[in-house]
Chains A and B, each alone.
Chain A
Amino acid sequence: MSAVVKLHDIHKSFGSVEVLKGVSFEIDKGEVVAIIGRSGSGKSTALRCINRLETIQSGTLEVCGHRIDHADLDLRALRQDVGMVFQSYNLFPHLTVEENITLAPRRVKKLPTRDARALALSSLERVGLAEKIDAYPEQLSGGQQQRVAIARSLAMQPKVMLFDEVTSALDPQLTGEVLRVMEILAQGGMTMAVVTHEMAFARRVADRVIFMHQGRVWETGPGAMLDDPQTPELRAFLANGL
């Protein structure tokens, strides 16, 4: 399988603080990679570099054929290939669910207005929320909002999806419904990078787990790696519950 996301020796600093100290990893087509680690380990920053919400200082970064470290990067083409779901959902509060989902397809892909509702419906069916098509975000629970955010991302037909701690703001019950949606996506062959604190999800769904520590990829392996950590840092991380 060919890698669709390739990070090589990525360095990234915020001011004088270096948060990524030479991060390298690859994600193959159809692969689900869980990225775990403590707060401040750089896992979210690494993810945000992949669709260039953060710029990198050095290293090479290629996503779906787009060279992100190149000056002539077509940012909008990149972002059509890469979907992102955030911890705080970030739905547009002044738009209905349908409008949230179809705004980008209409503006970016020039989807005709008459086809918009059908696209919204098919996207919502994938996250099990077709009946909420006319609701406003504030009328939905956190779990439902996050599922709409996933549907909104899916409607752009991305080749890779990034999940940035998407269940961290949810209680356990709502977390379950969002994780189920993600698991179905994974089974459908979506290429996914998932920054998460859900170890059970990482173990069961991820093809590969990346443990980040102090701005570096510290340990990497299949989901079963979590049952047999090789480094003391991962062992300590897992022992602390989170």
Chain B
Amino acid sequence: MGGSFTINHLVYLLQGMMWTVVLSALAFLLGSVAGFGVMLMRTARTRLLRQISFVYVQVIQGTPLLIVLFVVYFGLGVVGIELPPLLAAGVSLMVYCSAFLGEIWRGCVESVPRTQWEAAEGLALTRWQTLVDVILPQAARIATPPTVGFLVQVLKSTSLASVVGFVELTRAAQVVNNSLFTPFLVFGIAGVLYFALCYPLSRWSRSLERKLNVGRRQAA
């Protein structure tokens, strides 16, 4: 075996990169929906909902993503539910995202002053109307930089999906390296490709943060 790195290898890596993006987007979209639910439960008035969601967040945050992935892929396989690798990875990452995003967003919602709730509810708005029209627009401003920052974490975490055989960028690099035995070159290129995805997101997150801080200074 062996041989030199050709354009075909690069195309294969780029295809893997595309699947990394697809998996990240899937995880982030599903995770956002579930995370929004977690945030609602964490800030609910019903104590039981708060407690259930608290335990959920603690368990997921205290468990390696790899273990969640194994449970979903191999664990469900044992009981007869065979998920394709993309779905297994997507579900695992969704669970992971929901716990972290739920917690990030809870903090943002709670950082909106309590007096905003009082003013809105004093005007006879319902709790839901208050949340949608008054609290969330203010919380979203605060939430944007950390949310984009977390997206970078998600993108890198998708590399774990390689262990269940999903051919994303990391798995693609392993496949290429298994035929070429040039790990420095192949994984180096994979690293550069990851960086090319993450760096713009990091920059974006930081510029959002700066804009937000400027806004705060002016408001004060």
Chain A residues near B113 (CB-CB < 8 A)? 90
How far, in angstroms, from A83 to B170 measured CA to CA in the complex?
60
Query: Does A122 sit within 8 A of B, measured CB to CB?
Result: no
Max chain B C-beta neighbours (<10 A), residue from A82, A93, A138: A93
Min CB–CB distance B214 → chain A (angstroms): 13
User: With the chains together, A79 CA to B219 CA distance in Å?
Assistant: 30
Which of these binds chain B: A14-22, A103-111, A183-191? A103-111
Closest 7 CB pairs of A and B: A90-B119, A104-B123, A79-B124, A84-B122, A80-B124, A108-B124, A90-B115
A90-B119, A92-B119 are known; give 4 further A-B pairs, CB within 8 A: A76-B124, A84-B119, A86-B118, A108-B123
22 of the cross-chain contacts (CB-CB < 8 Å) are A53-B121, A53-B122, A76-B126, A77-B124, A79-B121, A79-B122, A84-B119, A86-B118, A90-B115, A91-B119, A92-B120, A93-B138, A94-B138, A103-B120, A104-B124, A104-B125, A107-B125, A107-B133, A108-B123, A149-B119, A153-B123, A156-B124
**Do residues B116 and A90 form an inter-chain contact, with CB atoms below 8 A?**
yes
- Is A197 on the interface with B (CB-CB < 8 A)? no
Q: A83 to B124, alpha carbons, bound, how many Å?
A: 9
Q: Report B-chain residues with C-beta under 8 Å of the C-beta of A153.
A: 123
Residue of B nearest to A103 (CB): B133
Size bracket of the B interface: 20 to 34
Bound complex: CA A91 to CA B120 (Å):
9
The 0/1 profile, CB within 8 Å of A marked 1, for residues 162-180 of chain B is 0000000000000000000
Q: State the total of A-B contacts with C-beta under 8 angstroms.
A: 59
Asked if A51 CB lies within 8 Å of chain B CBs, one says yes
A88 within 8 A of B: yes
A88: chain B residues within 8 A (beta carbon): 115
Residues of chain B contacted by A82 (CB below 8 angstroms): 122
A96 to B134, CA, bound (A): 12
- Cα distance, A83 to B219, chains bound together (Å): 27
User: Number of contacting residues on A, CB 8 A?
Assistant: 25
B207 CB-CB contact with A under 8 Å: no
Instruction: Please report which residues of chain B, range 116-150, place their CB below 8 angstroms from some CB of chain A when the two chains form the complex.
Output: 116, 118-126, 129, 133-134, 137-138, 141
Nearest-neighbour CB distance to chain A for B135, whole angstroms, equals 10
Q: Are A86 and B115 in contact (CB under 8 A)?
A: yes
A152 in contact (CB, < 8 A): yes
Interface residues of A in 147-168 (CB under 8 A from B): 149, 152-153, 156
Contacts of B46 in A (CB 8 A): none
- Chain A residues with Cβ under 8 A from B141's Cβ? 94
